[in-house]
Amino acid sequence: MRRLLLLASLGIPILTGGPAWATSIGPGAFGPTQMVESFEGHTATEANMTLALGVSLLSPGTTSAFNFAGGVSLTSPIPNPGVFNDGAFIHDFALGGDVTNNWGGTRVLNAASSAYIPFGKAYLGAFDGGAGNASIEFTFAADMDRVGAYITGVTGSTVTMSVYSASGTLLETGSIGTVDLPLWSTNFLGIENLAGIRRVVFSGPDFGLDGLTFEPHPLAVPELGTLPSLAFGLAGLLGIAVLGRGRETAKVRR
């Protein structure tokens, strides 16, 4: 079974495990039915959301799964334990610029550098206060063929993305290295799996993601193996209809 094995340290996806039809993809692989969640427009006053730190850092899912647009929900960590306990946070500079996220080097994310966020002024992030990884889990209302996001984070780290079926089976795992802020909008990690992706988990020591992109299964079409039988059946029905019309014509002629 062939696998795409490239260098995550260069910001290029590594894909491991899973069935042969799983594929590492870029944003151009998504079609017209794609949905993009940019994490914009939320406030601390809405239900199931609290103020995490300052005015620009929010904690979604404080009591239950948090529903974003397009049929995707934040389902772990729930209830959100808070930003300093590996909880997910929305950092939205449209609410103010009082919180700085320092990922090291040229990755100091403040109000001025927020222009590098791929979609708008907000992103979703998490970090582990110890030496391990924090994780963010999304669950979809229906099966997806393709899922991905723009990712960066603390210098020298790698972020991993794992996708699961509706039954909880691990379908595929991919990883990507973090990049400097000006390259964030080019650093996309995506997976296509036609078995149907129902859940996706991102994990890393300190990371942010934006532009969560997902595309559902297309409308069901007949399998190729059934098309000859279908055509034969239609031809048979057509023959019966023609024969019936011939009999009616014969009756009139009598």
pLDDT value at residue 220: 38
Mean pLDDT of the chain: 83
Sign of the dihedral defined by the CA atoms of residues 70, 43, 118, 139, in that order: negative
| Residue 34: how many other CB atoms lie within 10 Å | 17
The verdict on whether omega for the bond into residue 228 sits within 30 degrees of 0, i.e. cis, is no
CATH classification of 8-219, choosing from 2.30.30, 1.10.287, 3.40.50, 2.60.120?
Answer: 2.60.120
Residues of the chain with pLDDT under 70: 1-22, 219-254
Q: How many CB atoms neighbour CB 191 within 10 A?
A: 26
pLDDT at 67: 97
- What pLDDT score was predicted for residue 43? 95
pTM above 0.85, yes or no: no
Residue 150 is given by DSSP the state E
The pLDDT of residue 129 is 80
Tokens matching residue 151: 């990712």
Q: Residues with Cβ < 8 Å from 210, sequence gap 6 or more? A: 38, 39, 117, 118, 119, 122, 123, 124, 149, 150, 184
Q: Residue 247 has what pLDDT?
A: 42
pLDDT of residue 157: 95
pLDDT at 231: 44
pLDDT digits (tens, 9 = 90+) for 34-91: 999 999 999 999 999 999 989 999 999 999 999 999 999 999 999 999 999 999 999 9
Distance CA 213, CA 144 (A): 10
- What dihedral do alpha carbons 194, 21, 19, 26 form, nearest 10°? -80
Q: The tokens of 235 are what?
A: 């031809």
pLDDT at residue 24 in the model: 86
pLDDT at 22: 54
Residue 177: how many other CB atoms lie within 10 Å:
21
Give the pLDDT confidence score for residue 218 in this predicted structure: 80
